[in-house]
Structure 1
Amino acid sequence: MTAPTLPTTMTDDSAAGFPEVEFGRSSDGFLAARVADTTFAMLPARDGRHYLATGWCIGRPISEWKLSDFHGRSGDLADEAAFRAKVAENAEHQREKRALGRRDIASTANTPWGPSQGATVYAEGVVCHSTAGHGGFHLSAERNRSVHSMLRARGGWYEEDEGWSIVAITFPNLFTSYERRCAERTIRDSWPDAWEAIFGTMLQPGESREKDRRAFEQEHAGDWIVVAATASDQQPGFVEVVATPGGRRGAGTEERRFLVPSDEYRMGRFR
């Protein structure tokens, strides 16, 4: 059956005319969208599911796009409505980011991750550096004093994987709504004690990965937990696993090995 043709949808910011948003169907019939130079697709996964794929600067019309144009993978999608919500979220993010007026500058500063190859100035004393392998923020001494003591890094360097979120919750006016939501999630997941102290609230089960991990390890401290697994070469259809008490590692830790039927083996959230 031929997929129905989606109407092209355009939205823009009334003040800046940015970004243009376009929906359509690819040459393979999958749902796709463009937000300025960022491109998205709703691609099939296993068991009838879908995932959000991303690309960059595809110059051709959406009707000519192919699977090979997409390389990034950004999570599962429940349905078309979820896809459209993700596209709208990105459009909002790009509009707000443009309004913030961040400036890209040349930089050769020394960072904990190597020489800077360029930087983005968010505000005076708040600079994000890129390097060959990693990157992150540097806060001036004055700016760094504004960071809560439980999260403050000596020297004012905050790496781009998780540490950036500390900068974002400290200076929320310098970040988009989307970035602030991601930062809050990262702080709850990685530094739950700091979150609870700063915001005066107790995180419940399911609200913090780190807090849930601690609870899991406490609950299963006396259980045998898998620390390594591989498909069995000698017993097809089975997974060979190595388990230790409480999932502990290190010299002198007792180990046991088990064969588990492949169709019964599932990786849990914490092993």
Structure 2
Amino acid sequence: MTDVMTAPTLSPASSGYAPVNGLQLYYEIHGEAQGDTPPLILLHGGFGTTGMFAGVLPRLAQNRQVIAVDLQAHGRTADIDRPLSFEALAGDLAALAGYLKLVQVDVMGYSFGGGAALQTAICHPEVVRRLVVVSFPVNSDAWYPEVRAGMAQMGPQAAEGMKSSPMYAAYAQVAPRVEDWPVLVTKLGQMMGLDYDWTAQAAALEMPVCIVVGDADLFGPQHAAEWFGLLGGGQKDPGWDGAALPATRLAVLPGTTHYDIFVSPLLAVVVTPFLDA
């Protein structure tokens, strides 16, 4: 799985490293806290950094505080002797909320970060008020076959060939140990090569969920529609006054791929009203 990179261009109000689960987890805070509105934890895609949201973060941070995180082995967060797993990443994020003394947060993740966001909601539902999952399916069979084949090929040899990519350039700009690049590629490939099916857990979520995909994503939009239906969406007429409108939202962004959805101006347009609701 590959994600187009956007170089970091925004200056956060503050930043730091949270000592959680053996990691020094890098985070940066954008925007101002707004009363009782919980902050939004924002999670990048595979090989990405906090900087990949530079195009949409200002809009997201207009009415709330946004905490952008570099996940294990990504960006400024150095790797540790632990496999990459969505469950472990979810534990890191719950621990980060505790470290920052946050009772509840909204969580939004794209691609690899979407998997981490979803597992945070599944494993630590008491921490998550609202969940936004961008371009990530709830079961591995949904990825197109050629996408899964590409994931399986990620390893040390692939890492060397990827050094000419924008992904590596963004990583090398901020990584504390640039020589860990092959480790990241290998670990990410191993994790994304595993079969998973979180359909039952994703259908049982009780917090409001916003599902966002591109109409030309790495899996078909029908998968997102099925999950939307399991959460009560698209089942009946909500009424002229919207009284029966489900809390879950589904957005399929037109003319949008997996590789550009995180910089699409439409992303903040559909996510912000959901978070404000």
* Normalised TM-score (structure 2): 0.24
TM-score by length of 1: 0.25
Q: Which structure: greater strand fraction?
A: 1
Please tell me whether Structure 1 or Structure 2 has the larger radius of gyration of its CA atoms.
Answer: 1
Higher relative contact order (CA 8 A, sep 6+): 2
